[in-house]
Amino acid sequence: MSTTPGQPDAGRLYRRYLSAVMLHGHASAKACDLGATDLYALNVLELSGPMTPGELGARTGLTTGPTTRLIDRLEQAGYVRRVPASDDRRKVIVEPVGKPAGLDQVMAPARQKVGEILAGYSPEQLDVLFDYFDRAARAYEEAADVLRSGV
């Protein structure tokens, strides 16, 4: 880097990084004809694992009607699958399908680039990075939860 990595534009650098991540995610979703809520729901499923439509609806802030059709869209596009719950035959479990469809494929180039970047670091440096990823993920999840309940 040309300038000192110290304080002056650290915030700006980080914001640029965040913007790029979100921009890429959005462009990926668009490329797959996925709406914003669809992507949101996929992220929820990625984070919290399989859940019922009711819980997914609560997480995404949707009522039951839109939730059903959200799952319909995701199911039809091959991202999730409905499986009957074993304990309660009214319930349905929505789970990400084993072989992810287009989204992962669209995101593959970025993933590979990031993989190459990460491959250039030493094990000690990777420890730092992954320690950060872990902590930051928790922080963002927590903040997102607060926002959800605050609405």
Partner DNA sequence: AGATTTATCTTCTTCAAGGAAGAGAGTAGG
Partner DNA sequence: CCTACTCTCTTCCTTGAAGAAGATAAATCT
Binding site for DNA (CB under 7 A): 35-38, 52-55, 61-73, 82, 88-92
Pattern 92-131, binding to a copy of itself, x per CB under 8 A? --------------x--xx--xx--xx--x---xxxxxxx
**Minimum distance between the CB of residue 6 and DNA, rounded to whole angstroms?**
37
When CB distances are held under 5 to 8 angstroms depending on the partner's kind, the choice from a copy of itself, DNA, none that residue 132 binds is a copy of itself
Helix (H) or strand (E) holding 93, with range, is strand 92-96
Cα dihedral: 46, 143, 71, 49 (round 10): 30
How many CB atoms within 10 Å of residue 135?
10
Rounded distance, CA 72 to CA 17, Å? Answer: 33
**Minimum distance between the CB of residue 115 and DNA, rounded to whole angstroms?**
31
